[in-house]
């Protein structure tokens, strides 16, 4: 009782071939989308020093090719609590959990899960392809627009489509 506690959560994205994963997720066109898996996990650990443990955890996640995605911290006079979210490549997911376990004096709780996101990736790619086709069609119409009113109307439609693609 009164010992600081830290929590960490990690998310990883997997594919048949290892995708390049950045803050926005996997790079399209790499691996077989149907095989993509998202792994999530959380671990609650008791630590002797929150500041030191969070710094060590972040260093270890960086060494695994991951990054810190968010954090929260609460401090009271008797104890403190920190929660840090990390993103890691799927190939290093288990290594990340193992590193977090070693940071604490006691593991208070742990949870992990995985979900297939292949169909969502395929669906999203189909929508993007359709929007790009619409964008080309609207650009062709723009080239033929003759009045200012037509240009403004087509430009608004083009902006809407480009916003959806983004």
User: What is residue 3's predicted lDDT score, i.e. its pLDDT?
Assistant: 53
CB contact set of 70 (below 8 Å; sequence gap of 6+): 84, 85
What pLDDT is stored for residue 9 in this prediction?
53
In degrees, rounded to 5, the angle at the alpha carbon of residue 16 between the alpha carbons of residues 99 and 97 is 10
The predicted structure's pLDDT at residue 126: 82
Which residues of the chain are modeled with pLDDT < 50?
1-2, 11-32
> pTM for the full model?
0.53
Length of the chain: 166
Residue 64 near residue 88, CB atoms below 8 Å: yes
What pLDDT, on a 0 to 100 scale, did the predictor assign at position 59? Answer: 94
Q: What is the pLDDT of residue 58?
A: 92
d(CA 77, CA 66): 33
The rounded Cα 151 to chain-centroid distance in angstroms is 39
Q: Where are the alpha helices (DSSP H) in the chain?
A: 50-63, 93-103, 118-144, 148-165
Quote the pLDDT of residue 76.
72
Q: What radius of gyration, in Å, describes the C-alpha atoms of the chain?
A: 23
* Sheet-wide strand order for 67-75: 67-75, 80-87, 5-14, 37-46, 106-116
């Amino acid at each position: 009782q009164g010992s600081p506690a830290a929590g960490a959560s990690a998310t990883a994205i997997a594919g048949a071939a290892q995708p390049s994963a950045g803050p926005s997720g996997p790079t399209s066109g790499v691996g077989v989308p149907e095989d993509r898996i998202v792994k999530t996990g959380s671990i609650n650990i008791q630590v002797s020093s929150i500041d030191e443990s969070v710094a060590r955890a972040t260093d270890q996640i960086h060494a695994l090719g991951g990054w810190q995605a968010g954090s929260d911290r609460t401090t009271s006079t008797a104890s403190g609590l920190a929660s840090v979210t990390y993103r890691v490549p799927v190939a290093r997911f288990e290594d990340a959990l193992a590193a977090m376990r070693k940071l604490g004096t006691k593991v208070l709780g742990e949870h992990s899960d995985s979900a297939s996101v292949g169909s969502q990736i395929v669906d999203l790619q189909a929508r993007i392809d359709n929007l790009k086709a619409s964008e080309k069609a609207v650009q062709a119409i723009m080239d033929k627009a003759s009045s200012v009113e037509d240009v403004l109307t087509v430009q608004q439609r083009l902006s809407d489509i480009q916003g959806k693609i983004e």
